[in-house]
Amino acid sequence: MIEIDGSAGEGGGQIVRTALTLSALTNTPVRIFNIRAKRDKPGLRPQHLAAAKAVRSIARGTLEGAEEDSHELSYTPSGIIGGKYEFNIGTAGSSILVAQTILPLLISAKKPSEIKITGGTHNPKAPSYDYFERVFLPALNSMGCEIESEMFRAGYYPTGGGEIRLKVKPSKPKPTDYWIRVPFPQTQAIISLANLPMLIAVREKKIFVHNNINRVYVREEKCNDKGNSILAYRGFIGFQVMGEKGKPSEKVGEECFNGIRDEGDVDVDHRLADQLLIYASLAGKTSYKTSRISSHTATSINIIGNFLHKSFSIEGTTIRVE
């Protein structure tokens, strides 16, 4: 059994998700303790619990300590089984983080899978569905993975209730140093609006148009709650900002524009650099340049090292795996 200190590095829920994914992939028992010890509300929250139970459903085995607020979790997998699954977070917790936890398992299964996840789709501390659809999945598919997604309903705080569906075929990421090249890297933006005046989107769009970004799309979401989110992206670089009550629309737009501009001329944005690490490890010889090395990335590399015999190197902001 591999033991992981959940307070190490950035000390968030990412440690739980990454460790459980790798445990299932390598069929290695894992014990995670001090879960989210550095957070204001330590222990497992509903979205982390949902991710843990999703892994248990797909890779079978035994899961102990899977309760809300639990500070310790043990898991012994017994083999990945593809098929049809449904997962309901029960809150506005991120359905995207649950999806990202189980996708490495589903591409490793022996048969195709169809997944339905109910929860939040646009969260301030997680990738939005727009980012998942327009940046994350295209990057995986360019590596050789075969994954399709669709959002049937958006889910914002506090109710959630969003629904996404995935179709995943067994596939293996391919080792390559050039998959990152994108044929049409023009910056675009998607403004998602739910139960709010269209004027908000108009004011946000003006910021991009004034900065010579004209491919800006507005998507009015079907949703129980009010919400606003912007994703700016080009190729495999994305930056998202959530609208907030009392925050001027122009400021939301400016923050998003500045974020995508500051990512610079790289292969992948700094968040995607972290999200691709497991796939790069499965592929083998892979490299990509990002804008900066985040604490999430450093933490993920350490956890992957516990399960997979892969050699990582970081030169400046270029990550290589052998």
Q: Are residues 142 and 22 in the same domain?
A: yes
**What CATH number has the domain bearing residue 87?**
3.65.10.20
Q: Are residues 128 and 244 in the same domain?
A: no
pLDDT of residue 40: 84
pLDDT of residue 8: 87
pLDDT of residue 180: 58
pLDDT of residue 179: 54
Helix ranges (DSSP H) in 4-128 = 13-26, 46-59, 95-107
SS3 for 183-234 is: CCCCCEEEEEEECCCHHHHHHHHHHHHHCCCCCEEEEECCCCCCEEEEEEEE
Q: Are residues 175 and 198 in the same domain?
A: no
Q: Are residues 258 and 271 in the same domain?
A: no
Q: Are residues 228 and 173 in the same domain?
A: no
Catalytic entry in 48, 122, 270, 296? 296
Report in angstroms the alpha-carbon separations of 172 from 21, 85, 257, 279, 304.
Answer: 16, 21, 35, 9, 18
- Decide if 322 is inside a domain: no
SS3 for 94-127 is: EHHHHHHHHHHHHHCCCCCEEEEEEEECCCCCCC
pLDDT of residue 185: 75
Q: Which residues of the chain have pLDDT under 50?
A: none
pLDDT of residue 178: 54
pLDDT of residue 182: 58
Q: Are residues 176 and 195 in the same domain?
A: no
Q: Are residues 148 and 273 in the same domain?
A: yes
The average confidence (pLDDT) of the chain is: 94
Q: Which tens digits make up the pLDDT trace of 235-280?
A: 999 999 999 999 999 999 999 999 999 999 899 999 999 999 999 9
CA-CA distance, 252 to 235, in Å (whole number)?
Answer: 22
Prediction pTM value: 0.95
CA-CA distance, 106 to 279, in Å (whole number)?
Answer: 12
Of the residues 262, 280, 302, the one at which a domain ends = 262
Q: Are residues 131 and 250 in the same domain?
A: no
Q: Are residues 253 and 126 in the same domain?
A: no
Q: Which tens digits make up the pLDDT trace of 90-119?
A: 999 999 999 999 999 999 999 999 999 999
Domain count, the chain: 2
pLDDT of residue 177: 64
- Decide if 31 is inside a domain: yes
Q: Are residues 10 and 64 in the same domain?
A: yes
Catalytic (active site) residue 296: yes
113-119 and 312-315 strand pairing: unpaired
Q: Are residues 99 and 31 in the same domain?
A: yes
Range of the domain at 232: 188-262
**What CATH number has the domain bearing residue 220?**
3.30.360.20
Are 149 and 163 contacting, i.e. CB atoms less than 8 angstroms apart? no
CA-CA distance, 290 to 237, in Å (whole number)?
Answer: 9
